Amino acid sequence: MNSTGKANSWLSLLLRDRFATILFIALIASLLLAVLAPWVSPYDPDVQVIESRLLGPSAEHWLGTDSLGRDLATRLLFGARLSLSIGVATALFSLVLGTLTGALAGFFKGWTDRVITGFIDFFSIFPSLLLAILFSLLFGRGVFGIFLSIGIVAWVQHARLVRAQVLQAAEQPYVESARALGISDQRILWRHILPNLWGPILVSVSAQIPSNIMAESFLSFLGLGLQPPHASWGTLASEGTRALRSHPHLLIFPSLALFMVLLASQYLGDWLRDRVSASFKAESND
């Protein structure tokens, strides 16, 4: 079955799972709202209207306003743009770096494997959030700094997965046949081995996106990530804790948005992992 046929088959399976379908639609809607935020909301996320500060949800301001009179729904939409962008961008960064290093270590072995595995083991010694905090202090608390802080930490797990997969694939008969035909090692790796590992790689990336979103939100919540005037779900939740007792909506709505996106991403990632595993088992049986 070609890739288009597999995609259609998986889509039909997804539509049979009502809960997965609802979460998928909610996730796509969140992405669209984040992308279209400047056109969806009639308010500017940074304009302060002091006389409208700390208003509760109403017809004019669906989710209320914050301590500076800014529309909270608008701030959530623009916060989604940053949180989701950082989550996806850092996952793609770890995809490129982790796939490159893991593939080189698993295929060429020897000193290449020892050097790369040494870096992987070094990063694995420390808790990932602790490393992210240290790197955020090193690179700064702007968008680029938080991107580097999370991306550098996130690549390790992906590299370990790719290395293990390449080590296993390198022992397969089709690799020996390719070598017997005189095909270069570089061509075998990039044209024959890695294309057959797209399933586990895709699952790894899909699992990293919610983890990276959570890491950004956690760092921003602690004040070690994005800083005002940037709005992310973490910074909004941090601002909401200061008025939790008197105006709980400032914390509830950012937390709820983060929870729903993480739930949808995690559930769909698990669903995708199960489908990829079933697909590989079916191919091996054939």
**The pLDDT of residue 283:** 56
**The pLDDT of residue 282:** 58
State the chain's mean pLDDT as an integer.
83
Cβ-Cβ contacts under 8 Å for 244 (sequence gap 6 or more): 250, 251
**Per-residue confidence at 218, pLDDT binned at 50, 70, 90?**
confident
CATH number at residue 28: 1.10.3720.10
Confidence check: pLDDT of 151 > 60? yes
The stretch 191-196 carries a mean pLDDT of 82
18 in any annotated domain = yes
**The pLDDT of residue 284:** 53
The stretch 202-215 carries a mean pLDDT of 86
263 in any annotated domain = yes
Confidence check: pLDDT of 46 > 60? yes
Domain that holds residue 240: 14-38+77-285
Give me the number of domains the chain comprises.
1
Higher-pLDDT residue of 95 and 142 is: 95
The stretch 141-154 carries a mean pLDDT of 86
pTM of the predicted protein model: 0.83
**The pLDDT of residue 138:** 86
104 in any annotated domain = yes
**The pLDDT of residue 2:** 46
**The pLDDT of residue 189:** 83
180 in any annotated domain = yes
**In this structure, are residues 40 and 33 in contact, taking their beta carbons and an 8 Å threshold?**
yes
238 in any annotated domain = yes
Closest CA to 27 of 209, 280, 239: 209
Q: Report the share of the chain in percent with pLDDT over 70.
A: 92
**Per-residue confidence at 59, pLDDT binned at 50, 70, 90?**
confident
Per the listing, tokens 């998928």 go with 24
62 in any annotated domain = no
**In this structure, are residues 220 and 238 in contact, taking their beta carbons and an 8 Å threshold?**
yes
C-alpha torsion angle, residues 33, 148, 90, 66 (rounded to 10)? -20
240 in any annotated domain = yes
Q: How many CA atoms lie within 13 A of 134 on its CB side?
A: 9
pLDDT single digits (tens) 6-19: 555 666 767 777 88
Instruction: Tell me whether residue 31 is exposed, middle or buried, using C-beta atoms within 10 angstroms of its C-beta: 0 to 12, 13 to 18, 19 or more.
Output: middle
pLDDT single digits (tens) 74-109: 999 998 888 888 988 999 998 999 999 988 888 888
**The pLDDT of residue 109:** 81
Confidence check: pLDDT of 242 > 70? yes
32 in any annotated domain = yes
